[in-house]
Chain A
Amino acid sequence: MLAKKGKISTRQAALLFYVMTLSPEIRLFPQNTVKMAGKAGWLAPVVAIAPTLLLVVLVNSFFKKNQNANLSDIYNIALGKVVGKIVVSLYLIWILILTSLYIRYYAERLLSSILPHTSLVFIILIMLLLVFFAVRNGLVPLARVNELFFGMLIVSAILLYILALPDIEYRNIMNVCTSDAWPVIKASSSIIPIWGYFLFIFFLGDRINDKENIKKFGFKILLVKFIITIMMLIVTIGSLSATAISNIALPFFAMVKDIEILDTFERMESIIFSIWVITDFITITVFSFIAVSMLKSIFKLKEGKFLASPILLIIGIGSLFFFKDIFELEAFSNYIGLPINALLTVIIPITVFIIGKLREKI
């Protein structure tokens, strides 16, 4: 019924949020939390969950009066047409940069691990082609295939955590004291901007049904995300130690590499690779959908799907043009990406909500 209208359910939107945040989580969380909070880094999600739950409540409040709108429309209603369009344009520029960043990360990871002699342009082109067909086919097939991915990802995450349990040394994660409280709060600042992607999904709000259930499914998916993230940090810090993690490029990947079953089955990192490619594909495709939807809202266009080709060309060339190497990518995500994400997913929505309430529009 929903599929016929080209719409997805709020549950499917929540699942898209879960899968699209996995890739940055695996890449950023272990190292960033340990850098700021040491062995207590695994507690950072406990602090980060409260503001993210509030964000879900905020998104829910945005759609109370305007069930059929998307977030761009809500911003236009709350801030007025001109200011609203300027703010949405800023979001659009950031989404394009962010998508270029994710495409480049994906290509660099493949280059440095399993395809060292392949052309960077070729790897980017293959992903763009896949995303192009996904965007042209609409949101419904993507949301459906994402449901399958979600199940696979949860099963493989639990499997990896169970297999990694024997490697955990409890002295690496225990002995946390009250003086760790402030570093843990600081460490949560690298988690909140990624979990804030929950807001981005609702730029597709006009294609999401049953938005009265945002709170219900938002809370549920955040609970799952909280458990999976905290387990990821426990097994990574527990088996590698905080000191080792701060010197390794991809700690979670290194931890998975050490897993072996009965001295026979090894190289579990292939599971992580497939997870990474899947989540990168979902992230890039969802962001492309969001960019198309924002453009449609800004210029009040009738057909959105034709915009997929210029947007993907801009993203593709942007991923080559914007970043030179992996070091620049990492510096950009840590020093510029995370603060701007925090601004766009936490500070601006709160400001828009307050202005909307004062103007009695929301």
Chain B
Amino acid sequence: MIFYLVLVLGIGAYDIICLKKKQIKKDVVIYISLMALATVLGIVYFLQTDEKSLAGYILNLINIEW
């Protein structure tokens, strides 16, 4: 998880510096939102204790056995 967080922060910081140089505020906001989503997904994945995956839940929900 630490590797993932370092990766996200590293890439994020570099990209935001580049985007700020171009002075496009809206792009920065969307970029930060998406990076936040990626971070949250990553943290949830690395901390989850449940064995079932999202696809598993969906398949069970519509009663498909595989």
- Give the interface SS of chain B, mostly helix, strand, loop or mixed: helix
Task: Give the complex CA separation of A263 and B21 in angstroms.
Answer: 64
Do the beta carbons of B59 and A331 come within 8 Å of each other?
yes
- CB neighbours (8 Å) of B56 from chain A are 324, 328
Task: Give the complex CA separation of A309 and B17 in angstroms.
Answer: 14
Give the interface residue-count category, chain B: 20 to 34
Task: Give the complex CA separation of A314 and B40 in angstroms.
Answer: 10
- CB neighbours (8 Å) of A309 from chain B are 11-12, 15, 35
- CB neighbours (8 Å) of B35 from chain A are 309-310, 313
Do the beta carbons of B59 and A301 come within 8 Å of each other?
no
- CB neighbours (8 Å) of A322 from chain B are 53-55
- CB neighbours (8 Å) of A335 from chain B are 59, 62, 64, 66
For B11, B19, B62, which residue has the most chain A Cβ atoms within 10 angstroms?
A: B11
- In residues 314-342 of chain A, which contact B (Cβ within 8 Å)? 314, 317-318, 320-324, 327-332, 335-336
Interfacial residues, chain B to chain A (CB-CB below 8 A): 4, 7-8, 11-12, 15, 18-19, 22, 24, 26-27, 30-31, 34-35, 37-38, 41-42, 44-45, 51-56, 58-59, 62, 64, 66
Q: List 28 A-B contacts (CB under 8 A).
A: A295-B30, A301-B27, A302-B27, A303-B27, A306-B15, A306-B19, A309-B12, A310-B34, A310-B38, A311-B34, A313-B38, A314-B38, A314-B41, A317-B38, A317-B45, A318-B41, A321-B44, A322-B54, A323-B53, A323-B54, A324-B51, A328-B55, A330-B66, A331-B55, A332-B55, A332-B58, A336-B55, A336-B62
Q: Contacts A301-B26, A309-B11, A335-B64 given; 6 further ones with Cβ under 8 A? A: A301-B24, A310-B37, A313-B7, A313-B8, A317-B4, A317-B45
